[in-house]
Amino acid sequence: MIVDYVADYITARFKDKGAVRHLDVGAGWGHLIKRLREGCPAMRSEGCDYNPGHNLTSGLAIEHVDLNSGKLPYPDNSFDLVTCTEVLEHLENFRHVVREIGRVAKPGGTVFITTPNVLNIRSRLYFLLRGFFEYFDPFPVAGDPTYYPGERHITPITFYYLAHTLVEADFREITPGCDKEQKLSRLLYPVIAPLARWAARRNLNRRRRKLKPVADALEALALLNNSRPILTGRTMFVSAIKKG
């Protein structure tokens, strides 16, 4: 379902842009590339994944890469568009792969990343009551026979920490979005949003008085942790443009 939302979003923005070179990081079965071939016939898509054997899309070669520590097998400044859909939450080191995405994206290129939204209101309530974010639960250690690498969500990522990583990877125009709003989060939004934004600004003022200053651009990104897409969305969508 997330693949459908991502494919529709990208198709609407790239279908008339000609031979865009696209990389799907964590391509899995190749479903996103298959959908984009239908919506953007001129787009030239490639994929990489930790297990290329998952690929079910004919005519698509998926390169193997260890996304936690390996370099993406492409030269610098290679792609107009890089997607990474429902991958980062499975990784031990999401910052590494985001830096690699920044390396292979062309100046002016677009990155589009999705991951479970752990900061929607429902997930915040889950964490308050259960001690775990929604979509994240206890999981076995690597030596357990039931353990399957990549199956579990092991790294919850908030908007700010993903945005901060994108800034360090030389991206700008970092924008939060979502696939759809959750019913409970949407219902509670009019009550919770003003309180969350008041608390965030109060914390900002406290930090400015007592701690070393943080750049205004980063503080603006931090405030977006309480934007409507983040407070209500089921899945977090983040788009950004690499600096030219």
- What CATH architecture does domain 2-181+233-242 belong to? 3-Layer(aba) Sandwich (3.40)
**Per-residue pLDDT band at 142 (split at 50, 70, 90):** confident
Nearest to 7 by CA among 78, 88, 83, 59: 83
Burial class (CB in 10 A: 0-12, 13-18, 19+), 219: middle
- The alpha-helical segments, DSSP class H, found in 40-176 are 94-104, 121-130, 159-168
Instruction: Please provide the size of the chain in residues.
Output: 244
Residues 136 and 117: beta-carbon distance below 8 Å: no
pLDDT category at 47 given cuts 50, 70, 90 is: very high
As given in the structure block, the two tokens for residue 227 are: 């934007």
Residue 117's Cα: distance from chain center in Å? 9
Given a cut of 80, whether residue 146 has pLDDT beyond it is no
CA separation, residue 21 to residues 132, 164, 214 (Å): 39, 26, 36
Tokens of 58: 């004919």
The model carries a pTM of: 0.93
Question: Cβ distance 5 to 36 under 8 Å?
Answer: no
What is the band of 141 on the pLDDT scale with cuts at 50, 70, 90?
A: confident
- What is the SS3 string spanning 196-208? HHHHHHHHHHHHH
The answer to whether the beta carbons of residues 11 and 81 sit under 8 Å apart is no
Partners of residue 62 on adjacent β-strands? 47
Coil/strand/helix, residue 82:
strand
Task: Please tell me whether residue 47 adopts helix, strand or coil conformation.
Answer: strand
pLDDT in tens, 82-106: 999 999 999 999 999 999 999 999 9
Mean of pLDDT values over 21-38: 94
Looking at residue 147, its pLDDT comes to 64
Residue linked to tokens 């409507």: 228
pLDDT for 136 equals 93
The pLDDT value recorded for residue 18 is: 87
What percent of the chain shows pLDDT beyond 70? 97
What angle (nearest 5°) sits at the alpha carbon of residue 34, between those of residues 33 and 39? 90
* CB-side neighbour CA atoms (13 Å) of 20: 27
| Cβ within 8 Å of residue 13, ≥6 positions away | 110
